[in-house]
Amino acid sequence: MALLKHLLLSFTMIIISFVACYSTLQEDPPSSIYVDHSPSIDDGGTVKNLIEQSTNVLSLNRFDKRNSLKKVSVNDYGAKGNGDTDDTEAFKKAWDVVCSSGEAILVVPQANYLLKPIRFSGPCEPNVEVQISGTLDASDDPSDYEDDSKHWLVFDNIKKLFVYGGGTIDGNGNIWWKNSCKRNKKRPCKDAPTALTFYNCEDLTVENLRIENAQQIHVSFQDSVNVQVSGLNVTAPEDSPNTDGIHVTNTQNIQISSSVIGTGDDCISIVHGSKDVEATDITCGPGHGISIGSLGAGKSKEFVSGIRVNRAKIFGTKNGVRIKTWQGGSGSASDIQFQNIEMDNVTNPIIINQNYCDKKKKPCKKLLSKKSAIQIKNVLYQNITGTSASDIAVRFDCSDKFPCQEIVLQNIDLQCEGGDDADAMCNNVELSYLGHVRPRCNSKKRKAFTTITSILKYFSCVYVRYAGWNKLRALERISNQGFWFGIEFAAIFLSFHCHAKQIEKFSSHNKHLKTPFEIVHQN
């Protein structure tokens, strides 16, 4: 009987210690080291002031240089600017002069200019600028777009182009929205023009413009490199279909900053071939949030990497920060960071959807059976706070065949509108936590599991303290039971090893959490 008692006690102790140790290490699984090197948390103004000073110097240099450039007004080439007369030909003539001569500015004065589709093509001589002070109004006659139904204003194949001026680009999109298949299900789905497209441009700067009521996408950067975008105000009604604010396609090294976007679709959408994309100080809402994708439609192979979204305010949108991919595609979306973001009444604040489909139900069901998918990996969500309009604030719906990998949540605090606890839904995701994270995946089940394992750990410690050490002190009295004492001692060692691992894990995590001072001075 005594033998059986020792056997059961030792076996129970080993099981308790193992479960306690396992649960401790699983509560915050080890993760890659993520340190915020941006000066966004609390830089004391040092980095910010340096950037502002650099910007001011650049602005002064640009102003001095601009005074020496030749100014070519569209009015000098026949533009009326009355909002009724077609001024397209006058703009073409003025552009040809600016492009061929270089060191020149195409000037659009304060007036309303009606334009049909127009392409400002290069290559041009160096130092070409476009100053838009007035309003460009798109023709609302669909027959004017028969030769090119996808574009209205296009800047094509130009190096060192600078577009600015404080003016307005109005797509007059209402006629297109009424005929959209998303508003009228009986109508066929057709392309509508993008209001402003920059195609195959290098060393491009676009700043201080208002773009509104686009026929479809407002601004698109395609096949371009080294792009600076700032001070854009992009607006369209919340129910306007497919009116993405800023769309980035196959473009590398692009910085989007200090812009306000509210449309009927994504505030910013980043799709295939894009690399090293930064979006900073963005205000987004209404709309569908800031999205990477969709990727992988039609079994395509697509890649996106080096995406940084930092300091954003997102309000009243369907999504906050989203990654969306189709089943059946291939490629990857990797090295992505969403940092320092405020959510206000957002339906899906944090979402990955590897089962995206906007087709009818039957085709979508077929896609879910595909055996390939875009691989999503190395994604950091850091310092994201605010409110969710739904119960699920964090939603990871990843592929069962290609699960999401190396996903890290750090310092997340999201709750339902009204103050109730939000929840998280996670399928097929390799997930790690750093710092305070709320909500966590399967949070309700996790709370119950944590409670149980905490009790087990408590009894483990009690056993170690009262039973284990008593055995050690009375070793000479139980030498004849050496075998069972060895088993019990192994259980004690396992418990101590578990707690040592817990301390080691805690120290390892915290040594990577830099202070704001360290973050600033690392730069």
CB 105 within 8 A of CB 98: yes
The one catalytic residue among 288, 497, 509, 512: 288
Closest CA to 260 of 281, 239, 287: 281
Strand partners, 350: 321, 394
Q: What is the 3-state secondary structure (H, E, C) of 345-358?
A: EECEEEEEECCCCC
Give whole-number Cα distances, 55 to 59, 267, 479, 514, in Å. 6, 25, 80, 28
Helix %, strand %, coil % of the chain (to 5): 30, 40, 30
Closest CA to 309 of 318, 317, 324, 321: 321
Tokens for 517, please give them: 């001072």
Q: For tokens 């996808």, name the residue.
A: 150
Handedness of CA 361, 364, 368, 370 (dihedral sign): positive
Report which DSSP code applies to 316. S
The type of residue at 112 is: N
The type of residue at 341 is: I
Q: For tokens 């395609």, name the residue.
A: 222
Closest CA to 411 of 388, 380, 379: 380
288 in catalytic set = yes
Tokens for 447, please give them: 């709370």
Active site residues: 288
